[in-house]
Amino acid sequence: MNFNLTKEQEMVKTLMREFAEKEVKPIAADIDEEERFPRETVEKMARYAMMGIPFPKELGGAGGDTLSYIIAVEELSRVCGTTGVILSAHTSLGAHPIYQYGTEEQKEKYLKPLAEGKYLGAFGLTEPNAGTDAACQQTIAVLEGNHYVIDGSKVFITNGGESDIYIIFAMTDKAKGTRGISAFIVEKDFPGFSIGKIENKMGIRGSSTSELIFENCIVPKENLLGQEGKGFGIAMQTLDGGRIGIAAQALGIAQGALDECTKYMKERKQFGKPLAAFQGLQWMYADMATKVQAARFLVYNAAMKKDQKLPFATEAAMAKLFASETAMEVTTNAVQIHGGYGYIREYPIERMMRDAKITEIYEGTSQVQKMVIAANLLK
Amino acid sequence: MKIVVCIKQVPDTNEVRIDPKTGTLIREGVPSIINHDDKNALEEALQLKDKYEDVHITVLTMGPPQADVALRESLAMGADRAILVSDRAFAGSDTWATAKTLTAAVKKIGDYDIIFCGRQAIDGDTAQVGPQLAEDLGLPQITYVTHLEIEGNKVKAHRALEDGYEVLTTEMPCLLTTIKELNEPRYSSVRGIFEAYKEKTVEMWNAKDIAISLEETGLNSSPTNVRQTFTPSPKGQGMILEGNGRDTVSELLFKLSEKHLI
């Protein structure tokens, strides 16, 4: 197994590190405090072709690969978990399903502006009563002539209210269960579509998480994504890819917390010597660094499998499970190492700990990842 | 408009560490970057390209094969063509021999209106190569450019002075050296990075390609040579004299004369 990055990937990493340090880090604490969506960062990312890294140039993308995109999410998340998830939800959940399942017309009309960063994308699957049990969809879509009429609501939608394009799942045939779910491309201005409550969250507070409301929402027939009844498969396969993005977000948050510890442990002195000289803390730090590196190998491995067009669902679930739990553990220990300074908002550590928690929950909880891993390996 | 931008790949540090035993730079573990002032040079060329039609930018560097990365980055930022002038015969060139070598390369490029160079490299700090190149090519030059306008076939530039700037106009072709006050370099685009590696090439030119004689380049053709490089030893502790004016002044005079400074 070879984890050496190509020259292109190395250069993307250097670019994203510099961009994150100069453009993202300086506002990370403010957007968290103010719950402000960093629109200016999204515009800058669009200018430098960061909003469609894995898509072909002809479709508005950067002509890159999954691993480069994953590295971008990692480097952004290293300084700001919010910015990392905005890119991840946009690319993996908003744009990718159109790339994989869209018609040529849909790609031209929707994927191109998404990949160019002119549009922001989101994905609406979760409902009040359909979280982990995603098949329990209550939103319905009825075909009436040349359009579908959608009724229902979605909750906890990342980039909700900020996006131009939403991939929405709804029941077209309730009797068929999961085989009755279909996927649709919904524009923010379609009649009958509105944004409900914007959630007030523990972490990733600069990202927008909202309710989506559909009341007799009119969606043209040509906006059906894939075939009718194939929506559940589209959702599950999209989430397989999305998990690598969230795993990269978790990895970046963990690396960011570790980097803060590296700096703090050398600077902070107690009992006449730097924290770095205390063996109790050295052992804690060594465990943190080791887990971060192990997480990186799992995440990169899943991305490489996807790039090689090999099955990657198990690898993506393992990467997300391990990276998110590593992020939670590393940020919690990073707060401990920083002591009182870790708990106050003048330091970025407490924000990293709050941001880390969601990575164990969204796009499949840790428990769901274990179900996926076991089901795939024991079949 | 045809533009040539000369860049140099340098170690990414303002505190170049030197091995005290050998007197050479310690390059291990130090990533390489495009020299800062040279990035301003490239940015200015790219801004001209954004503003005017038919601007073509060639980026030129003399260096070891690893300098390929710096040229790819220039392509990723938006340059059109990249040339790496590289030959073992060039090793050990000082600024004189470097300018002669670049002159030969620029002559092979042939057609140009403006040559941009960064003011100086963060590793050597000489600020000589740009002006020497202008002299060797017989071009008018404006150094320390902080502002630039194109007026017909002339350039009008602000040239930074210690306490202000002067406004100079010259005809093209000309050579300009740039400083960081000129602009804020853009990032590479991710698309640009993949194009730089997948679609574009870096041309490799050796001594024969640019028809330079071995009397003009390399260590033996360099009139300057480095006898020794060293890190200055830290200065001693300062001293603060306290007390009333009269006493401290006479004590100061005594201390200075004791050290034979006055």
In this complex, the residue of A11, A47, A63 whose CB is nearest that of residue B72 is: A11
According to DSSP, residue A366 is labeled: H
Q: Residues A344, A269: one domain?
A: yes
Of A208, A229, A250, which residue is a domain's last?
Answer: A229
Of A115, A145, A171, which residue is a domain's last?
Answer: A115
Classify residue A368: in a domain, yes or no. Answer: yes
- Inter-chain contact A63–B194, Cβ cutoff 8 Å? yes
Q: Give the chain B residue nearest A19 (alpha carbons).
A: B187
Question: How confident is the model at residue B172, as a pLDDT?
Answer: 96
* CA–CA dist A332, B145 (Å, integer): 51
B230 touches chain A (CB under 8 A): no
- Inter-chain contact A11–B73, Cβ cutoff 8 Å? yes
Average pLDDT, chain B: 91
- Inter-chain contact B189–A62, Cβ cutoff 8 Å? yes
Question: Which residues does chain A have with pLDDT short of 50?
Answer: none
In this complex, the residue of A6, A7, A53 whose CB is nearest that of residue B190 is: A53
Classify residue A184: in a domain, yes or no. Answer: yes
* ipTM for the whole complex: 0.94
Q: Residues A103, A132: one domain?
A: no
Q: Residues A77, A185: one domain?
A: no
Stretch among A217-221, A235-239, B146-150, B241-245 having the lowest mean pLDDT: B241-245
Name the residue with tokens 């060329």: B45
* CA–CA dist B189, B167 (Å, integer): 34
A62 contacts in chain B (CB < 8 Å): 189-191, 193-194
Classify residue A101: in a domain, yes or no. Answer: yes
Classify residue A359: in a domain, yes or no. Answer: yes
The 10s digit of each residue's pLDDT in B198-238 is 999 999 999 999 999 888 888 888 888 878 777 677 777 78
CATH number at residue A88: 1.10.540.10
CB < 8 Å from A in window 196-225 of B? 196-198
The 10s digit of each residue's pLDDT in A112-170 is 999 999 999 999 999 999 988 888 999 999 999 999 999 999 999 999 999 999 999 99
Q: Residues A239, A364: one domain?
A: yes
In degrees and rounded to multiples of 5, residue B27 shows phi and psi of -100, -15
The total domain count for chain A is: 3
Question: How confident is the model at residue B221, as a pLDDT?
Answer: 84
In this complex, the residue of B73, B187, B190 whose CB is nearest that of residue A62 is: B190
Long-range contacts of A58-63, Cβ-Cβ distance < 8 Å, separation of 24 or more: A59/A99, A59/A107, A59/A111, A59/A112, A59/A115, A60/A111, A60/A112, A60/A113, A60/A114, A60/A115, A60/A116, A61/A115, A61/B191, A62/A115, A62/B189, A62/B190, A62/B191, A62/B193, A62/B194, A63/B191, A63/B194, A63/B195, A63/B198
pLDDT band at B245 (very low <50, low <70, confident <90, very high): confident
Nearest-CA distance A48 → chain B (Å): 4
Q: Residues A80, A111: one domain?
A: yes
Contact partners, residue A164, CB within 8 Å, separation at least 6: A113, A119, A120, A121, A187, A188
* CA–CA dist A80, A84 (Å, integer): 7
A7 contacts in chain B (CB < 8 Å): 69, 72, 197
- Inter-chain contact A49–B187, Cβ cutoff 8 Å? no
Residues facing B157 on adjacent strands? B148, B168
Question: How confident is the model at residue B22, as a pLDDT?
Answer: 65
Q: Residues A259, A361: one domain?
A: yes
Give the pair of three-digit tokens for residue B167.
Answer: 């406004």
Question: How confident is the model at residue A38, as a pLDDT?
Answer: 98
Of A229, A244, A273, which residue is a domain's last?
Answer: A229
Complete domains list, chain B, with CATH: 2-221 (3.40.50.620)
Q: Residues A12, A62: one domain?
A: yes
Question: How confident is the model at residue B123, as a pLDDT?
Answer: 82
A6 contacts in chain B (CB < 8 Å): 197
Q: Mutation target for B interface from A10, A15, A47, A87: give the one with most B CBs within 10 A.
A: A15
A55 and A95 Cβ atoms separated by less than 8 Å: yes
Domain housing A347: 233-377
Task: Say whether A363 is catalytic.
Answer: yes
* CA–CA dist A33, A345 (Å, integer): 9
Q: Residues A245, A372: one domain?
A: yes
A296 residue type, one letter: R
B78 and B49 Cβ atoms separated by less than 8 Å: yes
Question: How confident is the model at residue B208, as a pLDDT?
Answer: 95
Contact partners, residue A162, CB within 8 Å, separation at least 6: A37, A39, A120, A122, A208
Classify residue A1: in a domain, yes or no. Answer: no
Q: Residues A27, A139: one domain?
A: no
* CA–CA dist A123, A90 (Å, integer): 8
Stretch among A87-101, B7-21, B52-66, B175-189 having the lowest mean pLDDT: B7-21
A265 residue type, one letter: M
A196 to each of A157, A161, A215, A292, B147, how far by Cα in Å? 10, 8, 12, 37, 51
Classify residue A161: in a domain, yes or no. Answer: yes
A253 and A349 Cβ atoms separated by less than 8 Å: no
Q: Span B43-50, mean pLDDT? A: 98
Nearest-CA distance B188 → chain A (Å): 7
Q: Residues A189, A223: one domain?
A: yes
CATH number at residue A194: 2.40.110.10
Nearest-CA distance A12 → chain B (Å): 6
Give the pair of three-digit tokens for residue A292.
Answer: 């971060």
Nearest-CA distance A370 → chain B (Å): 35
Classify residue A2: in a domain, yes or no. Answer: no
pLDDT band at B249 (very low <50, low <70, confident <90, very high): very high
Q: Residues A157, A103: one domain?
A: no
Q: Residues A260, A351: one domain?
A: yes
- Inter-chain contact A48–B195, Cβ cutoff 8 Å? no
Say if residue B17's pLDDT is above 80.
Answer: no
Peptide bond into B232 cis (omega under 30): no
Q: Mutation target for A interface from B36, B191, B197: give the one with most A CBs within 10 A.
A: B191
Classify residue A54: in a domain, yes or no. Answer: yes
In degrees and rounded to multiples of 5, residue A167 shows phi and psi of -90, 115
